[in-house]
Amino acid sequence: MGRRADVKLKIGGASITEAMAAGGRLRWHMDANDGAVAPLLQRAIAQVHAGRPDAARALCEQALAAAPAGAGHPAIHQMLAVLCMQAADAPAARRHIQASLATRPDHLPSLKIAGDAARATGDWRDARRCYEQVLAQEPGRPDVALALADALLALHDAAACERVLADLVGRAPSLHDAWFRLSLVRQDLGDFDGAIDALHRVLALTPHHAEAEVNLGIVLQETGRIDDAMQAYGRAYRLREDTFGRIAHALSTPRVGRLWLDLDTLRAALRAAAA
């Protein structure tokens, strides 16, 4: 076997965070005897560092053309997939990451990229498959769990989404974004007590979260606790006056709301409730 060379690449601002190892660096493994391939990749990396991703992509394409037939070169395809995603060319990213996975189907960074590329093209089922494969090996990984939750919602599987988010906050209880998403899913499922608990967790972590206060008011209102709802609405209005429209709309719900003919009177009531 030829001597193996490690080529490192730093990609700034990539949305596909799984492509980065510790410190935001990718490590590529390739055979140093691949002739023109290694120098081309090294030049591509230099172009990335210089802020010229299009040039880096062109050099990677040259590296593929120069590679021995049938070699596969999953690292080159992975690098191209990253660059294509940064260029908002998700279809090309999918082609490259699928080629990369063809020779290493269980490679977790590539599976995360594949999930992100599938998501970007609207293929939520494949995104779900990729994210679930990653989580099977790295349970509770926040970025992948949240991405899977998005895929499950897009597939109208709210119950599975709730399970994923509940597992995530059980493993990482300080993730306020996960708690907030969990509250929305539980509200959609009609689990109002669970939604209220999740929103209280959000507000314990981020006390000035106006949207969480509005949502708390809505859920409390749904359970018939209109006075508690008004207090939550009042806190939201005190934090951000632009929440007034949502609050007024929520309060107009015929079954559980209150009708305010004078909006100035409602504003005064919200100020009083927040006092």
CATH code: domain of residue 8: 1.25.40.10
Output the pLDDT for position 19.
Answer: 42
Residue 91, by phi and psi: left (phi above 0), alpha (psi -120 to 50) or beta? alpha
Residue 219 maps to a domain? no
- Condensed to tens digits (0 to 9), the pLDDT of residues 10-56 reads 333 333 333 433 223 444 444 444 567 888 888 888 898 899 999 99
Inside any domain, residue 39: yes
Answer yes or no: is 129 within a domain. no
For residues 145 and 149, give the distance between their C-alpha atoms in angstroms, rounded to a whole number: 6
Instruction: Give the pLDDT score at 21.
Output: 35
Residue 155 lies in a domain: no
What pLDDT is attached to residue 35? Answer: 63
Whether 32 is covered by a domain: the verdict is yes
Q: pTM score > 0.75 for this model?
A: yes
- Assess if residue 188 is contained within a domain: no
Q: What CA dihedral angle connects 140, 144, 145 and 146, to 10 degrees?
A: 140
Task: Give the chain's residues under pLDDT 50.
Answer: 1-33
197 belongs to a structural domain: no
Please give the residue range of the domain that contains residue 112. Answer: 1-121
- Per the structure, the count of domains in the chain is 1
